[in-house]
Amino acid sequence: MTAIPNLSYFAQATAAAKRIFEMIDRNPLIDAEDVDGKILAYVRGEIEFKDVTFCYPSRPETPVLQGFNLKVKAGKTVGLVGGSGSGKSTIVSLLERFYDPVKGHILLDGYKIKRLRLKWLRSQMGLVNQEPVLFATSIKENILFGKGGAPMELVISAAKAANAHDFIVKLSDGYETQVGQFGLQLSGGQKQRIAIARALLRDPKILLLDEATSALDAQSEKTVQEALDKASLGRTTIVIAHRLATIREADMIVVLESGNVVESGTHNELIQLNNGGGTYFRMVQLQQSTAQNDVSNSHYHPSEVANNDRVMIAQTPQTPVGAISIWQSSPVSNFSPCISVSVPHSIQMYSYDDSDDENLGKSYYSIPSKWRLLRMNAPEWKQALLGCLGAASFGGVQPVYAYCLGSIVSVYFLEDNPKIKSETKFYCIVFLSLAVISFFVNLLQHYNFAIMGEHLTKRVREKLLGNMLSFEIGWFDKDENTSAAICARLATEANMVRSLVGDRMALLCQVSVNVSLAYGLALVVTWRVAIVMIVIHPLIVGSLYSKNVLMKSMSKKAKEAQNKGSQLASEAVVNHRTISAFSSQKKILSLFKATMEGPKKESIKQSWFSGFGLFSSQFLSTASIALTYWYGGRLMNQGLVTSKHLFQVFFILMSTSKNIADAGSMTSDLAKGGNAIRSIFAILDRKTEIEPDDLKGINAEKTIKGFIELKNVFFFYPSRPEQMIFQGLSLKIEAGKTIALVGQSGSGKSTIIGLVERFYDPIKGSILIDGQDIKEYNLRSLRSHIALVSQEPTLFGGTIRENIIYGKEDATETEVRKAAVLANAHEFVSSMKDGYNTYSGERGVQLSGGQKQRIALTRAILKNPSILLLDEATSALDSASEHLVQKALEKMMVGRTCVIVAHRLSTIQKSDSIAVIKNGKVAEQGSHSDLLAVGSQGSYCSLIKLQTGQSSYP
């Protein structure tokens, strides 16, 4: 009987084992551990693609490359350019053998790469992705992924070559600084430089750069580009770039369009191709036209500076800019009023257990009354009543069943056969009746409590999520409020509450009736045996209880110990491309093995305690039974009790003791449920520090003008109060005008956008919109007039249309298409099989970076805002798309207040005003020509010289 409840665990284990063994037994189509491949004694680095046709396995109906041919000579640099989605990054993936082509061959030094040993092949390549992936370990360990066991001198040398050494040594722990999960403690530019250092440490024969400098500011880009140019010498280098200036010196430039090579040659050859009518020439013209804009105004005369009243230079001490990008490491960058959320391309494993409860408990108040939770279930009072009736009925059935069981045992001691038959028949009918009654009362009990539980779960989850979405962004900065912890609360705590209210209430009601009826019935049948058994009940209940608790404790501690390993495994699976590219499987496995040593020792230790505990439990249980029979036998010898009464009382109270133990074993569940209730009500009762629906706030339903002013603003992020971002920053943005914010990574440009959106409130000073402090507005109505396009927009799982209409939920089809046309998105969306109903994939993974950016722009355009915030809005676009989108944005900016954050200064030269952010203040402000007129000592002048030097074409 005791084994039957455990059969479900065997079924679950069997199902899990089947999936595990399927994965273990699966032979990968591309096996990195295959040792049969050939190893070349010497690698020249000549690469050739022969008639390659390819489509992604997830989209077999969409060909990416069609009869693609390309030959890269050894030691030469080839630049790949083309529109978003043209197949540039796919070439790198095929070369790394993340995929194999459907048709055709890829050759290295004349050998098909399919026939080369894969791990060796990848060891000859260094890869830097457009979106660099770092692991949750130190900077040093991340760089060492490029070459395990490399000495510290080589690590530092690689970091210097990638322009990363200077910012690393400024960090408190230097190379031992933990980068955080997914590298969130570093800015995009800093992560990119570490990824470049990782690739350079490898000293590869083939260097693959997929937008390797896309996230860097002008100064860092120039330095890193010089380092990459040096690193490319003597190596075969394939560079994917949207910024054509970065591949101008390439030995060959290949222009891709719809998976085919349309042009190839050097920069000069392509410029002169078709008398200046080639695709590449047009792309250059598009970028050059913006870069050379206002060149005639770039020359300055010192005498003009004194007369220039429009230039504002802040006198600030020249202190080094903080190394860590505040915006990137803050969740602010992940939120937008037009729902353009930036999320790391990964999934974090999170296990909710008691340790988490303890952590949560530190910040929450005492456990609220469970009656409050029951009041949330008040609409289902009828189901609660019927459920309790069913539970009470079943609790009464069990003592009656035990009583009849003891009675039928005594029947077989009778000598009258006819009486044995009649008694047996009678009890069979009783047992059958009890079975039928049990079926219906259990059905009544579980059905009604299930309805209660599901309604409560739905209600709790809706209220939790609704309240969380109203919280200020600073709340999400706290360690206990990570996205994984929040998901755990929504998924786990609501289920705990459901179990507490439904299942546990049923058990308590059932056991209460059962114990009352059993004790009363036993004392009536024979009080002598009943008293002895009731006295030893604590031993029986204690032994059964300890057995259940020990089993649960073993399971819980095993899960706790394995949490770290699960986190590492999750990170490894999500970032498998980076691990594969650097052949780091063994390193990850060794790290995983190290994390599992703790759980192994803990499990062995627990097994000794558990073995002793289970032995004691079984011994006490058996000893109690022996004592009952011994005492009952003595009473029978004395004629004080009959065998029938002895068996009746024994079965009644033994079954009751098991029920009490089952109820007792749920104390840990009750405690966990109590912690869940505490956590839930702490969130439900919490008042956000920045209320989005303040009824007393000024309603901005009518169109606002868009005059913005930051007055003497001091600010630091709540999670890092020791790091001041702004120190008395003041800035005016005229209504209907465009202002651009420039400066180095980490200077606080994007933080200004966060403050205007009121994701945070300043520590000191004020932010005004149309002369009113933004704290006085109804925030939701204010944000309805503001649109934000983030640097790394991520789409939600759903169709392209659904993602677009987040900007305006009641938008018509005509409005959606018109916005898409303005953002240069309509053409590529319409070319897809399902058009606007195309599924974008989780976080938009089915679309390229440029396509995702254009969808985000469409969403912003659809919103028709009074204030437009663009945080590197065109950074992921190719030159043709950027030119078209830039034109669309210029049209959209008319009559609107626009705040632009940009590294590419060419995109903001037409702005009405440009503000240079440095050392927590506005260092310079004025138009493009005004700031150049300041002279070579000006901050903006030095930035523009860096970029105009890189982007000038003959």
Give 609's DSSP letter: H
Between the alpha carbon of residue 16 and those of residues 9, 10, 19, 20, the distances in Å are 10, 10, 5, 6
Averaged pLDDT, 128-146:
79
CA distance 953 to 949: 9
Copy the structure tokens of residue 5.
């409840």
Q: Collapse the DSSP code of 234 into the 3-class scheme (helix H, G, I; strand E, B; otherwise coil) and give the result.
A: coil
Averaged pLDDT, 876-903:
72
Nearest 5°: the CA angle 134, 135, 140 is 80
CA distance 64 to 197: 31
**Beta carbons within 10 angstroms of residue 274's beta carbon:** 11
**% the chain with pLDDT above 70:** 75
Confidence of residue 326 (pLDDT cuts 50, 70, 90): very low
pTM, 2 dp: 0.54
Report the length, in residues, of the chain: 954
pLDDT attached to residue 483: 67
CA distance 134 to 179: 8
Count, in order, helices (H) and strands (E) of the chain.
Answer: 33, 21
Question: Given strand 77-82, what is the order of strands in its sheet?
Answer: 125-128, 206-210, 236-240, 77-82, 252-257, 260-265
Inform me whether the pLDDT recorded for 166 exceeds 70.
yes
pLDDT attached to residue 619: 82
Confidence of residue 673 (pLDDT cuts 50, 70, 90): low
Confidence of residue 309 (pLDDT cuts 50, 70, 90): very low
Residue 174 Ramachandran class (φ > 0 left, ψ -120 to 50 alpha, else beta): left
β-partners of residue 593 are none
Q: By C-alpha distance, which of 658, 605, 608 is closest to 399? A: 658
Please give, one letter per residue, the 3-state secondary structure of 632-654. HHHHHHCCCCCHHHHHHHHHHHH
pLDDT attached to residue 323: 32
Predicted confidence (pLDDT) per residue in 182-205, tens digit: 666 676 677 778 888 888 887 788
Copy the structure tokens of residue 65.
């490359």
Predicted confidence (pLDDT) per residue in 227-244, tens digit: 677 777 778 889 887 777
Read off the amino acid at residue 674. G
> What burial class does residue 187 get, using C-beta atoms within 10 Å of its C-beta: 0-12 exposed, 13-18 middle, 19+ buried?
buried
Contact 220, 212 (CB under 8 A): no
* First CA to last CA distance, the chain: 88
**Beta carbons within 10 angstroms of residue 617's beta carbon:** 22
Q: By C-alpha distance, which of 686, 276, 331 is closest to 482? A: 331
At residue 701, what are phi and psi to the nearest 5 degrees? -60, -40
Predicted confidence (pLDDT) per residue in 753-779, tens digit: 888 888 888 888 888 888 888 888 887
pLDDT attached to residue 565: 67
Q: Collapse the DSSP code of 79 into the 3-class scheme (helix H, G, I; strand E, B; otherwise coil) and give the result.
A: strand
